[in-house]
Structure 1
């Protein structure tokens, strides 16, 4: 596709068709060129400055800034319209520009090319052409600005068409493709970063909730163990000195399941429930024993005494370790508690 290159704006202060004076800087011209995206909003070539939908006689495909002048690169130009322009029927070339705050601006906050209008006394001899409608100022200072440049006015850029060479066209196409690819990569990277941040935030919240739940469960288990030990002390089944040891054993046991044979059936209970059953049913004798009897039973386990159970479990764990078998404290206590059912 052959593109026609034409100037539409240059540095300096220009008077819009509604009387406003606007000074265009290099940054403003570059903003118009850089912001233009035909895939977002393609600017048409029109007759006059129509305020409503009007026929398009060509389309702006690219924009560029060279030596302080803003150029448009136009393609898909209607043949009859091109003939009318070449024959001199349109003496003025005009640019309509969205200001950063103009309502309907495709890129709010930036200057954006609205359309390029050709102005003349006689419309081109093309079927269906509408009369010229010159745009009026709408929206005060936030309205788009229309600028017309007359070929006879030396203070404004003289509109001269220049057909791009094949090399220039290829360079322009490659530059547009590179910009599009870079924008796409940046968008994908931003989307990926946003997803990663959302996943990390969700995982952090889940982890915090799990930790809070585990903390609450541990506090609940310790309270239940403490309450149970207090009830044994109150019932005379546990010495106060042994209370702390029993609470620790119960906390360590947790709710680990244990199965054992009870006559003709297999019973499955949690370790805590087994320990509670034993301590609730076995009477405790706090009377002193004779030295001989004490010597005989010094290694016996008192299943009503949490400290005695813990001591026996620790000894069993150490015994297994010497034999090369590593077992947990829970397994050691479960092993000791098996003796309570014999």
Structure 2
């Protein structure tokens, strides 16, 4: 994914969040809206939303001074949400065809196309577009309406002077008639009001602030975390040392582990003594290849030409008892005897006579 697509997607997400917040605030604090519909000759008709088709006042011109509008019309506009519907003759309409997937990023795309579609830059123009219509080849088409910002600025200034709470400028597509959907080209919130653009800036500032705080927290953790870990390790070593001192004091200088080793020493036969005794019992032509001692149990693996007689020799010894084969005796080619596996019990202690 290219950087430009990421930026466009992020911009579209910001617009969506800002619009949602503004809509939620508008539902919490509803204000009666009025429409100013431009007619022939530049005169405007004032119409309250939901009041029917008949204008509430005679047509008037917005380019007159605010003083000339004082009275019933000024009272209707003060503190109201005003929709200024301008004639299509003020606007330049251009069709635009795009891939269907571009519908999520229309604001950024149209903004970058204004220089090509109109004689004005994006900063010099106000613009909007019709809802995109689908085409058969996985593409969409829409109509962009744009005009110079300076052309509608006098109307905006007059409405601001009359105390309009918010101003939305819109028009209708040329030839669309009264049934055509309005195209919103500009939205302005009076001072102290949160418009989409203002909320967008606040959301962006909030995200930047959170990112900065998270970065600072990470850096601080890396700088001071090492010192804290070292102090914690030193504290743990001190605690372990104190516990060891207390344990030795309670046990009179002997730990339970040392006592267990001492008991095992006296309870088990020493391996070297068992091996020495075994060498005296077994014949000279018998070889021991493996020996395992577990408690008083001895396991011996080796090679002998007289393997069956070894059981009797061990039983006759005063140091071993319960001798038996724990695996079959097998003949090994090129070996001087059979491989045996004998298991016996050791009589403790084992003593070797010099």
User: Whose strand fraction is larger, Structure 1's or Structure 2's?
Assistant: 2
Whether the TM-score (by the shorter chain) exceeds 0.5 is no
Greater relative CO, 1 or 2 (CA 8 Å, sep 6+): 1
TM-score w.r.t. length of structure 1: 0.22
* Rg larger in structure: 2
